[in-house]
Amino acid sequence: MTPVLLNAARAFAMVSFSDGRLSPVEAQNFASFVNKEPGLNHSGHTEIAEAWEQAAREVHAVQSFGTALVTIRTEITSPADKALLMRVAQAALIADGRLELQENQAISSLAEALGLDPANY
């Protein structure tokens, strides 16, 4: 699995879990997003599932997004990859059919970690 795919899964899981739960529909929506996204759609089903499972385990294990944000900030440095992760995060925002304030805050935190202006997202 590529670092970009794994960090995309981390971003999606982080935003999704910010409301305190990860639902099966969010995992399905992540896979659907990856399959449609030009920067990620070369990934196979198994690779996508493994990335999601690892990201979900990480998010559940620490119950905090600090580690994920530091990892993402360290590994995602190109403008194209930063834009991709923000698209992933925005897709996660609506993945469970509910808009939650915590999810918006998670997107702002991700933007800040990537050195982007949260007001643009």
* Structure tokens given for 44: 């196979």
Please enumerate in sequence order all residues whose Cβ is within 8 A of that of 20, keeping only pairs 6 or more positions apart, or say none.
102
Phi and psi at 52, nearest 5°, equal: -65, -45
Query: Residue 117's pLDDT is what?
Result: 96
The answer to whether residue 76 scores a pLDDT higher than 90 is: yes
d(CA 101, CA 34): 25
d(CA 113, CA 118): 10
Q: Domain of 45?
A: 3-120
d(CA 60, CA 58): 6
CB 35 within 8 A of CB 41: yes
Number of folded domains in the chain? 1
CATH number of the domain to which 82 belongs? 1.10.3680
pLDDT tens per residue across span 58-67: 988 876 678 8
Query: Residue 39's pLDDT is what?
Result: 86
pTM of the predicted model as reported, rounded to 2 decimal places: 0.87
117-118-121 Cα angle (round to 5): 110
